[in-house]
A and B are shown apart, each in its own frame.
Chain A
Amino acid sequence: MILQKEPKKPRKRYLVFKLYSLGESPDFMVLSDYLSKYMRDFLGLHGLIDSSIKLIRYEKTTRYGIIRIASRDVNKILLGIIRIRKINSETVSIIPLKLTGNLNRAIKYLRRIESRPKT
């Protein structure tokens, strides 16, 4: 009997981002729903499953957030994310700030940039 190698479990990556919007900032649920809908269109249903994309955290007031993605095809998924330009007719731009493999590190980075004085 030939034992098949179990495929490696894809690692997770955490993207810290800022949502730059001309109008009102969307809330967590709206952004989360839009993200999965948009990525389903961009990657296809199977691609969406493989990407395991999920909005982990989003603060409406500061507009900073964290998205979890699978490390496999990370560049393709990021390319999809930066193409987002409209959420519910509001013009937005998702600005990737940092990509890390550790959620705690992502949160620490997020806290640091949130506490920076606004210019």
Chain B
Amino acid sequence: MRWADLLILSVNKEILDFLMRNRFRVIGLVDPDQVPSEYRDKFVIIKRKIYDDIDRVYPSKEYLVGFIPRDKDSARRAGKINAVISIIFDEENIEFCTREQISVMIGKNVFIEILARSILDDKYYPRFMRYATSCIRRAVSEGIDVVLSSGARSFEEVFSPGALRVIERYITNLRGSLTYSWYRVLERWRIDLVRKIDSTKRAQEAT
């Protein structure tokens, strides 16, 4: 099993060590230059661009684009885009992920990205879990890809594969529904990258 964290906002040596020891091989970074050279060959790094203005969002093959909606209307507009971009929900905007939001996203290539760091905040935890549980269950049942990323800004906000699986078990109880969906997303986004990931895995297994 390959593990991925498609959105880490800030990395340092401690985070990279943690990810390496916990079998993460694919990481999504806003600023890939933060990664020291000795770690570069340990990971497949996906470049991310995150916007909060819907007018600036455009699909790209170089960057995996993410959009953080600040209001309901822009969340709906983003949901109608038929390209591989993510709509990112965290503790501040999870209430926009409603039944209507899911219904506009059906049949489109856009996917939902939930930031797991939101469950660490005691203040937002109950509200976030209530909205996130209904949103994710509805999206998964409609066949929309939901990716669970950490969205980490510090070491405290990074999650291990076991922790991500616990969150998945709690919310959907479907193995791979949140922790393996990144692979389906990348297949739709850039098949060449997926082949590269597969070939590096085979090479690692051979050695």
Contacts and interface: CB of A to CB of B under 8 A. Distances in A.
Interface of A: 17, 20, 22, 75-76, 78-79, 81-83, 85-86, 91, 93-97, 119
Contacts of A97: 162
B193 interface: no
A47 B149 CA distance: 29
B163 A75 contact: no
Tell me which of B125, B170, B173 has the highest count of chain A C-beta atoms within 10 A of its own C-beta: B170
B120 A76 contact: no
Interface stretch (B3-11, B94-102, B152-160): B152-160
Contact of B159 (A81, A82, A91): A82
Contact of A20 (B160, B167, B173): B160
Contacts of B18: 20, 93
Contact of B120 (A17, A78, A85, A96): A85
Interface of B: 14, 18, 21-22, 119-120, 125, 155-156, 158-160, 162-163, 165-167, 169-170, 173
| Chain B facing A: main interface SS | helix
B50 to A, nearest CB: 24
Nearest to A94: B163
A22 B17 CA distance: 11
A83 B120 contact: yes
A75 B162 contact: no
Contacts of A22: 14, 155
B155 A82 contact: no
Contacts of A86: 156
Given A20-B18, A75-B173, A96-B165, 11 more contacts: A75-B169, A78-B169, A83-B119, A85-B120, A85-B156, A93-B158, A93-B159, A94-B163, A96-B160, A96-B162, A96-B163
Contacts of A75: 166, 169-170, 173
A11 to B, nearest CB: 17
A93 B167 contact: no
Contacts of A94: 163
A102 B121 CA distance: 33
Contact of A95 (B119, B120, B155, B163): B163
Contacts of B22: 95
B171 to A, nearest CB: 9
A94 B120 CA distance: 13
B162 A95 contact: yes
B42 to A, nearest CB: 12
Contacts of A95: 22, 160, 162-163
